[in-house]
Amino acid sequence: MMKTILSVNNISKSFGRYKAIDNVSFSLQKGDIYGLIGSNGAGKTTIMRLITQLSPLKVGEIKLFDQKNNQQALKHVGAVIETPAAFGKLTVQENLKLVAIQRGINDSKKITEIIKFVGLTEKVHTEAKNLSLGQRQRLGLAIAILPEPDLLILDEPINGLDPSGIIEFRKLLKKLNQEKQITILISSHILTELYQVSTRFGFIYNGQLIKEITKEELDKANQSGLVLTVDDVSKAAQVIDQKFMEKFTVVDDKNILIHSLGIDSSKLNRELVENGISVISLTKEEKSLEDYYTNLIGGIKNAQSIKN
C-alpha cells in the first residue's frame, strides 16, 4: 500500500480581498516527485509556504506523514522556499555545521558527504555571500537535505542555474529520489525541466488546482501518436483494426490518428500497401508538457470568456 507523505485538503488563503489559494487539495505518495506547475502568482509558493508553516493556515487542513501538520512533523521536511537562505558571512561548511547543530546531527562526516553530494567541495571554505547564484542553490539544497528529510520541498530550484547546472541539478534530484527515497514537491516555470524530473504534475491556475496528472497519463494525452494520411480511410481503418488492435480515430476522409507511438510503422506501411491502400504520409506527432499546459490554460481562459 502506498504511504501518504503529504495530504493537502481544501486549503484556501486570502491576502485581503485577493484569494491566493482557492480550495486546493492534493496528496503526495512516498517516492513521488510532484511538479507544481503554474505561472507567476498562480499560488505555487503560497502552497509551499502553507505546508512549511511559514504562512499561517486558516482554512483547510494539511497533514504531513499522516498527522496534523505540526512542528514535530516539520522535522522530517527539508525546504528551500523562494530563495535559498544562508548566513552570508559564514562559509559553506559553517552554514552546514549550523544546520547540523540545529537538527541534532553529530556526525561531522555527513557534512562532508553532503558538500560532495551537491558538488560544493571546492567551495567548502567560501563564504556564502561570495557564492554564485547556482552555488547558492546547491548550498540551499545541501541545507535542506542534510537532515535526511522524508519530504523535500523545492520552490523554483532551477532559477539562476546555467545549462550544465540544470542538468546536474536534475541528476541530483533523481539521485535523491532513487537513492535516498526522498519524496519531492517541486515547482518551476521551466516546464521542460519539470517534465524531466517529475512523476506527477499538478497545474495551478489563479490559486486553483485545475488538473492533476501522472507522467504516464500526460504522455498518453500528449502522444497524438501516428498520423496516417491515406487515399482510402475506411479500408485503412479495417486493416488497422484487424492487424494491429490499436486504438485509432478517423480524423477526416484522408487522416487517421493511431493513439500509440509503439506501433511498428514499417509493418503498418507494408500491410496497408499490400491491401492496396496508398500511404501518402506517416508522421509521428508528440506534444510537450508546455503544449499540454498551454492547451489546458487556453481552454480555461476560453471557457471563462464564454461565461463572461
Partner 1 sequence: MLNQLRTDFYRLSHTLGIYLTLLFAIGYSAVITGKNIVGGIMVTTDSMAKLDSSKLWTLKDGINASTLSSSLLVYAFIGIFVMTIGYEFSQKTYKNTLVSGITRTQFIISKYLVMLINIFVLSLVYFFTSIVTGMLLSRSVGTSWSKLLATVFKTSLVIAFFISVIFGLAILVLLLTSSIVIGSIFIVICPILVTTVHNIANWSWLKYFDFFSVAMKISLGLIPNNQLWNYISVSLLVLLVTIVLSVVVIRNKEM
CB atoms within 10 A of CB 132: 13
CB of 52: closest distance to partner 1 in angstroms?
5
Closest approach, Cβ 203 to partner 1, in A, equals 25
CA distance 62 to 50: 8
- Selection from 68, 54, 73, 65 nearest residue 29 by Cα: 65
Interaction between residue 81 and partner 1 (CB under 8 A): yes
Q: Which residues contact 206 (CB under 8 A, 6 or more apart)?
A: 22, 42, 43
110-122 core/surface letters (b: 16 or more CB in 10 A; e: else): bbeebbebbbbee
Q: How far is the CB of 211 from partner 1 (least distance, A)?
A: 28
Distances (CA, A) of 235 to 241, 256, 272: 10, 11, 9
* Residue 236 is a binding residue for partner 1 (CB under 8 A): no
Among residues 101, 167, 251, 273, the one that binds partner 1 under rule CB under 8 A: 101
Contact 228, 279 (CB under 8 A): yes
Residue number, 13 or 211, with CB nearest to partner 1: 13
89 binds partner 1 (CB under 8 A): yes
Query: Which stretch in 72-80, 193-201, 243-251, 297-305 sits in contact with partner 1 by CB under 8 A?
Result: 72-80
Note whether 78 and 165 are within 8 A (CB).
Answer: no
280 alpha-carbon distance from chain centroid: 39
Q: Is 72 in the site for partner 1 (CB under 8 A)?
A: yes
Least distance to partner 1 from the beta carbon of 127, Å? 11
**Residue among 297, 36, 54 nearest 191 (CA):** 36
β-pairing verdict for 18-29 and 4-15: antiparallel
Selected from 35, 38, 43, 78, the binder of partner 1 by CB under 8 A is 78
Helix (H) or strand (E) holding 133: helix 133-145
> Interface with partner 1 includes 206 (CB under 8 A)?
no
User: How far apart (Å, rounded) are the C-alpha atoms in residues 184 and 173?
Assistant: 8
Decide: 59 and 50 in contact? Cβ < 8 Å. Answer: no
The nearer residue to partner 1, 37 or 146, going by C-beta atoms, is 146
Stretch that binds partner 1, among 51-59, 163-171, 209-217, 285-293 (CB under 8 A): 51-59
Residue 61 Cβ, how far from partner 1 at the closest point, in Å? 17
Contact with partner 1 (CB under 8 A): which of 94, 219, 290, 291? 94
State the minimum distance, in angstroms, from the CB of residue 161 to partner 1.
20
Q: Using CB under 8 A, pick the residue from 19, 30, 97, 254 that binds partner 1.
A: 97
> Residue 95: phi, psi to the nearest 5?
-60, -40
Instruction: Determine, following the binding rule CB under 8 A, whether residue 104 of this chain makes contact with partner 1.
Output: yes
Name residues contacting partner 1, limited to 30-49 (CB under 8 A). 49
Nearest approach, Cβ of residue 184 and partner 1 (Å): 15
Q: By CB under 8 A, tell whether 133 contacts partner 1.
A: no
Nearest distance in Å: CB 99, partner 1: 7
**Which residues make up the interface to partner 1 (CB under 8 A)?**
49, 52-56, 71-72, 74-75, 77-79, 81-83, 85-90, 94, 97-99, 101-104, 143, 147
